Amino acid sequence: MYWRYAVRRILYAVVMYAIVIFIFSALFNAVAETTQMAQITEQVNAESRGVQQASQMRPEEIQQWRADRRTQLIQQYHLDEPIVSRIFWRTLNTLTFNLGQSTQIRSSAGENDVWLVIKERIPRTLILFMTAVVIDVLIGVWLGLRKARKAGGLMDRTTSIVTMVLYGLPSWWLGMLMIMIFAFTFPIFPSGSMHSTPAPTGALANFVDLLYHMALPVIALVLLRFWGRAYITRNIVLGTLQEDFIMSARARGITERKVLYGHTLRSSAPPIVTMSLLALLASFGGALIFEGIFSWPGMGNLYWVAVQQNDVPVLMGNLALTTGLYIAGLALLDLIYGLLDPRVKVGGKA
């Protein structure tokens, strides 16, 4: 039953998310609490100034009021409780997207709620990396199939060497070079950000503008990644090509083309899909430097900004949400895999 498998997998992801968030809360508890205490002090100071102006209280009364307010806030955030319970409350808040207030960073509308700051950035990150991964996988799978068809041939060998040469090259460094060449030396593309300022009016012009800004980062990402994708595809396909059913298909006189794109690709599909989605997930985490280089206003860039401005709540919230998306992606991967490969959802022991 597929739906039963699906429900179980999703529940499992939720539990896993809770566990990971609990670990994060414990790990970063000290720094998060220091920030929160500082924020409480700041809030009490700001409020007491307002109260003082409004009610003309005497200094002792103000002192008293401030102390009371402070205790009240500390109680509200459960900061007076023992450490295990503090970590527990932090976990619960994070799980319910109650990520607190940022110290410096504001959303584009000016709010300082961490959830709102991050929320508006999620689609921007997704659009950039999904585009890149789709192009990258299409080229990679196509090249991989060609490589497997003439495995050991000149094309296969040279592309494999390129794969290895590019293996340890940081994508963000290629990004830097491309900005240096195509944005400053030859100003063909913009050097960063997502839209021109002022943004063009009209949906179509806006879309073209977005594509124009996306071109350089996407090219840089694809240029570096599809080789590896092709190499893995080749290995998967090469493994399948040695199966008996391929030999029998060939023996029946089916054309090589049909064998490759029909039989082989169908049975190699599950691992190829896994590989592609894993690539998306890896790029999601790994490309946060990349966004910083291209000043793409996504979640990766936010890490950069949060580190520079020492905005701990944003950093923590961003980590929690990145992890959430990551785990959701892993679950999605298994769900798709289950659809493609019926053996998985039976739930036999691996």
Classify 38 as helix, strand or coil. helix
Query: Are the C-beta atoms of residues 300 and 290 closer than 8 Å to each other?
Result: yes
CB of 51 to other proteins, least distance (A): 35
Long-range CB pairs of 75-78 (<8 Å, 24+ gap) are: 77/36, 77/40
Q: What whole-number distance in Å separates Cα of residue 290 and Cα of residue 177? A: 12
CB of 298 to other proteins, least distance (A): 13
Q: What whole-number distance in Å separates Cα of residue 273 and Cα of residue 269? A: 6
Tell the burial category of 134 from Cβ atoms under 10 Å away from its Cβ (0-12, 13-18, 19+).
Answer: middle
CB of 46 to other proteins, least distance (A): 27
Quick one: 218 or 292, whose CB is closer to other proteins? 292
Quick one: 151 or 215, whose CB is closer to other proteins? 151
Quick one: 44 or 302, whose CB is closer to other proteins? 302
Q: What whole-number distance in Å separates Cα of residue 56 and Cα of residue 84? A: 42
CB of 140 to other proteins, least distance (A): 17
Contact footprint for other proteins (CB under 8 A): 16-17, 19-20, 23-24, 27-28, 31, 151-152, 156, 160-161, 163-170, 172-174, 176-177, 179-180, 184-185, 191, 235, 238-239, 242, 281, 284-286, 288-289, 292-293, 303-304, 306-308, 312, 315-316, 318-319, 322-323, 326-327, 330, 350
Quick one: 102 or 318, whose CB is closer to other proteins? 318
Quick one: 135 or 151, whose CB is closer to other proteins? 151
Nearest in space to 299 (alpha carbons), one of 114, 145, 153: 114
Cα–chain center distance at 240: 32
CB of 202 to other proteins, least distance (A): 31
